[in-house]
Protein backbone atom coordinates (compact mmCIF):
# COMPACT_ATOMS: atom_id res chain seq x y z
CA UNK A 1 0.00 0.00 0.00
CA UNK A 2 1.63 3.30 -1.01
CA UNK A 3 2.03 6.09 1.55
CA UNK A 4 -0.25 8.37 -0.46
CA UNK A 5 -3.23 6.22 0.56
CA UNK A 6 -2.56 7.03 4.23
CA UNK A 7 -2.74 10.79 3.70
CA UNK A 8 -5.90 12.19 5.23
CA UNK A 9 -7.65 14.84 3.22
CA UNK A 10 -9.98 17.02 5.28
CA UNK A 11 -10.51 19.17 2.21
CA UNK A 12 -10.01 18.16 -1.37
CA UNK A 13 -7.36 20.79 -2.02
CA UNK A 14 -5.03 20.34 1.02
CA UNK A 15 -3.70 17.09 2.52
CA UNK A 16 -2.84 16.72 6.21
CA UNK A 17 0.87 17.43 6.53
CA UNK A 18 1.63 15.49 9.70
CA UNK A 19 -0.14 12.70 11.54
CA UNK A 20 1.14 11.31 14.82
CA UNK A 21 -0.09 8.05 16.26
CA UNK A 22 0.62 7.38 19.92
CA UNK A 23 0.63 3.80 21.08
CA UNK A 24 0.97 2.41 24.57
CA UNK A 25 -0.60 3.33 27.86
CA UNK A 26 0.37 7.01 27.69
CA UNK A 27 1.70 7.08 31.24
CA UNK A 28 4.47 9.31 32.39
CA UNK A 29 7.94 7.93 32.21
CA UNK A 30 9.32 6.97 35.63
CA UNK A 31 13.00 7.51 36.36
CA UNK A 32 14.80 5.56 39.08
CA UNK A 33 16.54 7.85 41.60
CA UNK A 34 19.98 6.52 40.61
CA UNK A 35 19.35 7.39 36.96
CA UNK A 36 18.12 10.89 37.89
CA UNK A 37 21.22 11.45 40.03
CA UNK A 38 23.49 10.32 37.19
CA UNK A 39 21.80 12.65 34.67
CA UNK A 40 21.91 15.60 37.12
CA UNK A 41 25.61 14.96 37.78
CA UNK A 42 26.23 14.81 34.04
CA UNK A 43 24.52 18.19 33.60
CA UNK A 44 27.00 19.79 36.03
CA UNK A 45 30.07 18.69 34.05
CA UNK A 46 32.13 21.61 32.73
CA UNK A 47 31.79 20.92 28.99
CA UNK A 48 28.05 20.15 29.11
CA UNK A 49 24.97 22.33 28.81
CA UNK A 50 21.67 21.47 30.42
CA UNK A 51 19.92 21.53 27.04
CA UNK A 52 22.39 19.09 25.48
CA UNK A 53 22.11 16.65 28.39
CA UNK A 54 18.31 16.90 28.39
CA UNK A 55 18.15 16.31 24.64
CA UNK A 56 20.46 13.29 24.88
CA UNK A 57 18.20 11.66 27.51
CA UNK A 58 14.84 12.60 25.97
CA UNK A 59 13.97 15.22 28.61
CA UNK A 60 12.95 18.82 28.44
CA UNK A 61 15.43 21.33 29.88
CA UNK A 62 12.75 22.43 32.36
CA UNK A 63 12.46 18.90 33.72
CA UNK A 64 16.23 18.66 34.16
CA UNK A 65 16.36 22.08 35.87
CA UNK A 66 13.64 20.86 38.25
CA UNK A 67 15.67 17.73 39.06
CA UNK A 68 18.74 19.90 39.70
CA UNK A 69 16.78 22.21 42.02
CA UNK A 70 15.34 19.23 43.94
CA UNK A 71 18.82 17.69 44.30
CA UNK A 72 20.22 21.01 45.57
CA UNK A 73 17.40 21.30 48.15
CA UNK A 74 18.04 17.72 49.34
CA UNK A 75 21.75 18.45 49.72
CA UNK A 76 21.05 21.63 51.72
CA UNK A 77 18.61 19.77 53.98
CA UNK A 78 21.04 16.90 54.60
CA UNK A 79 24.14 19.07 55.10
CA UNK A 80 25.05 19.83 58.70
CA UNK A 81 25.15 23.51 59.64
CA UNK A 82 28.46 25.08 58.75
CA UNK A 83 30.35 27.30 61.16
CA UNK A 84 32.95 29.85 60.26
CA UNK A 85 35.59 31.27 62.60
CA UNK A 86 34.73 34.63 64.12
CA UNK A 87 37.49 37.21 64.32
CA UNK A 88 37.22 40.14 66.70
CA UNK A 89 39.11 43.21 65.59
CA UNK A 90 39.77 46.06 67.97
CA UNK A 91 38.71 49.47 66.62
CA UNK A 92 41.55 51.60 65.32
CA UNK A 93 42.51 54.58 67.48
CA UNK A 94 41.15 57.91 66.27
CA UNK A 95 44.42 59.80 66.54
CA UNK A 96 47.95 58.68 65.83
CA UNK A 97 50.57 58.84 68.53
CA UNK A 98 51.76 62.35 69.27
CA UNK A 99 48.65 64.02 67.88
CA UNK A 100 46.11 65.69 70.08
CA UNK A 101 42.56 64.37 69.52
CA UNK A 102 40.11 67.01 68.33
CA UNK A 103 36.77 67.50 69.97
CA UNK A 104 33.79 66.42 67.89
CA UNK A 105 31.15 69.04 67.24
CA UNK A 106 28.55 66.73 65.78
CA UNK A 107 26.22 64.67 67.87
CA UNK A 108 27.60 61.18 68.42
CA UNK A 109 26.28 58.56 66.05
CA UNK A 110 24.17 55.85 67.49
CA UNK A 111 26.04 52.59 67.34
CA UNK A 112 24.15 49.35 66.86
CA UNK A 113 25.32 45.81 67.16
CA UNK A 114 26.13 44.13 63.89
CA UNK A 115 27.54 40.94 62.46
CA UNK A 116 30.26 41.12 59.84
CA UNK A 117 30.77 38.11 57.57
CA UNK A 118 33.67 37.90 55.14
CA UNK A 119 33.88 35.17 52.52
CA UNK A 120 35.75 35.06 49.21
CA UNK A 121 36.73 38.71 49.47
CA UNK A 122 33.16 39.87 50.08
CA UNK A 123 32.26 41.55 53.37
CA UNK A 124 28.65 41.64 54.52
CA UNK A 125 27.49 43.54 57.59
CA UNK A 126 24.21 42.45 59.12
CA UNK A 127 22.67 45.09 61.36
CA UNK A 128 20.85 44.84 64.65
CA UNK A 129 17.29 43.57 64.33
CA UNK A 130 17.85 41.35 61.27
CA UNK A 131 15.69 38.25 61.36
CA UNK A 132 17.24 34.80 61.57
CA UNK A 133 15.75 33.97 58.17
CA UNK A 134 17.55 36.96 56.61
CA UNK A 135 20.85 35.99 58.23
CA UNK A 136 20.46 32.37 57.05
CA UNK A 137 19.66 33.56 53.51
CA UNK A 138 22.76 35.78 53.44
CA UNK A 139 24.98 32.94 54.65
CA UNK A 140 23.45 30.54 52.08
CA UNK A 141 24.08 33.08 49.31
CA UNK A 142 27.70 33.50 50.37
CA UNK A 143 28.11 29.73 50.58
CA UNK A 144 26.86 29.27 47.01
CA UNK A 145 29.17 31.94 45.58
CA UNK A 146 32.31 30.68 47.35
pLDDT in tens, 63-115: 999 999 999 998 888 877 777 777 777 776 655 556 666 666 666 666 666 77
In DSSP terms, which residues pair with 11 in a beta bridge?
Answer: 14
pLDDT on residue 32: 92
**Alpha helices (H) along the chain:** 33-43, 50-56, 61-78, 132-145
| Model pTM score | 0.41
Amino acid sequence: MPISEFTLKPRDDEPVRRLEIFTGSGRRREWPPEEKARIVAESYEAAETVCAVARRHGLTPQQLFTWRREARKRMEAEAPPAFVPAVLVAPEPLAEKGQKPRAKRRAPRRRTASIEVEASGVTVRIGDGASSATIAAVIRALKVTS
